[in-house]
Amino acid sequence: MIKIIKIPEDRKNVLKSCIKDLEKMTHTKIKVENNLAEIDGEALNVWKTKDVIIAIGRGFSPMNSFQILEDGKSLEIINLKKLLKTKSNIQRIKSRIIGRNGKCREKIEELTNSKISIYGKTVSIISDVENISKIKKGIEMIINGVRHVKVYKYLKGD
């Protein structure tokens, strides 16, 4: 099976830096030309590799992206452009999710044992499958203006 993934220009070198490791871990062959990554291999391996490449393209480090290969881990991408109407709203919401000096993002990661990347017009999450919907709801709460403290309590389960 062959799958082709588009990757942002500024993330191409990050992907290229870890191709050998990714190929070895997933038993696939990966070729990057222009802004396209071509994955060749068995269907399940290609599927997992695709998610790792998408994660790298969404701003995750290779080390964090490789977590997707672990059993029970998944990638979820929230498209802010679909949720918000104006560009200024997107920047404001990204700032709320990141928080002052990255504190909000770090707190969410800590409370949920996840990794979060805010890149372009997306918020991406790598976490255990059972936590994804809870984290996504927490981020949507922030998007809708809920106070950070209330979101943290929700994520803690209080």
pLDDT in tens, 59-74: 999 999 999 999 999 9
Check residue 85 and give its pLDDT.
64
115 and 101 part of one domain: yes
Instruction: Identify the band that residue 92 occupies on the pLDDT scale cut at 50, 70 and 90.
Output: confident
pLDDT score of 42 more than 70: yes
Distances (CA, A) of 28 to 3, 6, 12, 71, 82: 11, 17, 18, 18, 33
From 52, 69, 86, give the residue that closes a domain. Answer: 69
Q: Tell me the pLDDT tens digit for each residue of 100-136.
A: 999 999 999 999 999 999 999 999 999 999 999 999 9
Q: What percent of the chain has pLDDT over 70?
A: 96
The whole-angstrom separation of Cα 104 and Cα 102 is 6
- The residue among 69, 87, 122 that closes a domain is 69
Provide the pLDDT for residue 158.
64
Amino acid in position 137: K
- Shared domain check, 107 and 63: no
pLDDT averaged over every residue in the chain? 92
Cα–chain center distance at 146: 22
- pLDDT at residue 5 tops 90: yes
Ordered DSSP codes for the chain: -EEEEE--GGGHHHHHHHHHHHHHHHT-EEEEETTEEEEES-HHHHHHHHHHHHHHHTT--HHHHGGGGSTTEEEEEEEHHHH-SSHHHHHHHHHHHH-GGGHHHHHHHHHHT-EEEEETTEEEEEEEHHHHHHHHHHHHHHHTT--HHHHHHHHHT-
Asked whether 143 and 134 are in contact (CB, 8 A), the reply is no
Give the chain's domain count.
2
The answer on 101 and 63 residing in a single domain is no
Is 80 exceeded by the pLDDT of residue 87? no
The domain in which residue 61 lies consists of: 2-69
Spatial distance between the Cα atoms of 74 and 129, rounded to a whole number of angstroms: 6
Give the whole-angstrom CA distance, residue 23 versus residue 29. Answer: 6
Q: Are residues 58 and 77 in the same domain?
A: no
Task: Using the predicted structure, report yes or no on whether residue 25 has a pLDDT greater than 80.
Answer: yes
The per-residue pLDDT for 83 is 72
Q: Please indicate, yes or no, whether residues 65 and 78 belong to a single structural domain of this protein.
A: no
Maximum Cα–Cα distance across the chain? 49
- From 42, 69, 96, the end of a domain falls on 69
CATH code of the domain in which 135 resides: 3.30.1370.10
pLDDT at 88 over 70: no
